[in-house]
Structure 1
């Protein structure tokens, strides 16, 4: 006895019909979602416009380092370094750090190199081995580098930032950054020149 199969039909499957209550609930969900998105945008936009993204001119500004150093002299007890560097070197910050966290007050200046790198200068007359290690990210000593007629201690992990450390006339100066060593030499030579100047003695 052969099996009787139902005849195939070409009629489409019935479309579900929402009741008035279901449609109202679905619309309420969509409306709530749109309100939530609108509120999120309303909160985000003021924050976005009050905190604009990083702009090159912010980092390329040229700070009056001698002026800031003169202001910091009273707190430091000495006139902090304000080295002279050739164009197109730029200083993008200069500040006196009271040492509230490290307990070692220090003068800090950031320089932008002609190749677009950054080298930070830190100077203090109250350094200790622990502070120096922390200021150089605990990088190992890999040798010495002559710059400005002085022998600087080179600390380098082989990747990331390099550090040059000089102890001279009771001051410790640390140069840190990702710049090329010849750029470090430029800053180091300017530091030695400034330290050797009669006005800084």
Structure 2
């Protein structure tokens, strides 16, 4: 019995000590949101928002398609400098049912103005904050657990990016289709 126990320990200990330790940084992935957005643009029909904020990290960015509700959308998860989390969701094909599904049981608690654009402010039963607005044909939903000032920062950067993408697309179309 001692030989069997010794053999088991001899096999398990090297495996245990050769595995890397896990820290908070192990799970922090910094996704290049701009690159993923450019890759998704072909399927989306527009360039999805890829806001850049200093000291923020993205742990996922994806184009979600093929769902039974028929609404395809862009989704990005951001980790804030204060260890909060905010999910950005954008679509150009929203309908009331899709919006209701995305915001869940969150109830409207007021409005919030971010850079002269009014957002619906909602509070979810699980403590999440939800902001929703429409900008240049896109519906944008921000939800998560973070300070409202961080929602303001992401909201402003997202709107700026959407508007800049619209300007660049219009310029691209006008240069590829010269008048006359």
TM-score band by shorter chain is 0.7 to 0.9
TM-score between both structures, scaled by the size of structure 1:
0.70
Deviations 1:144-182 (A, max 9, x none): 001122111111136511100011111000000011111
Q: 1:149 aligned to 116, 121, 131, which one?
A: 116
RMSD: 2.6
Deviations 1:75-132 (A, max 9, x none): 111111101112x111111011004244211000000011111100000011111111
Q: Write the distance in 1 (CA, Å) between the matches of 2:149 and 2:126.
A: 17
Aligned length: 159
Are 2:162 and 1:195 aligned? yes
* Matches of 1:102 and 1:92, distance apart in 2: 25
Q: Which has the larger radius of gyration?
A: 1
Which of 56, 61, 69 is 2:24 aligned to?
Answer: 56
1:135 aligns with 2:70: no
| Alpha carbons 1:148, 1:190 under 8 Å: kept | no
TM-score w.r.t. length of structure 2: 0.77
CA–CA separation in structure 2 for the residues paired with 1:120 and 1:85: 14
Q: Return the match for 1:92 from 26, 35, 59.
A: 59
Residue 77 of structure 1 aligns with which residue? 45
**Which residue pairs with 1:110 in the alignment?**
77
The equivalences for 1:10-89 within 5 A come to 55-86=23-54, 88-89=55-56
Runs (4+) of structure 1 exceeding 4 A deviation are 52-55
Render the CA deviation track for 1:12-57: whole Å, top value 9, x for unaligned.
xxxxxxxxxxxxxxxxxxx9xx9xxx9xxx9xxx9x9xxx997522
Q: Secondary structure at the match of 2:87?
A: strand
Aligned to 2:130, which of 163, 180, 196?
163
Higher relative contact order (CA 8 A, sep 6+): 2
**Residues 77, 114 of structure 1: alpha-carbon distance in 2 compared, 3 angstrom cutoff:** same
Where structure 1 has 5 or more consecutive residues not aligned to the other structure, the ranges are 1-30
Contact map agreement 2:105 2:125 (CA 8 A) in 1: no
5+ unaligned residues in a row in structure 2: which ranges? 171-180
Higher strand share: 2
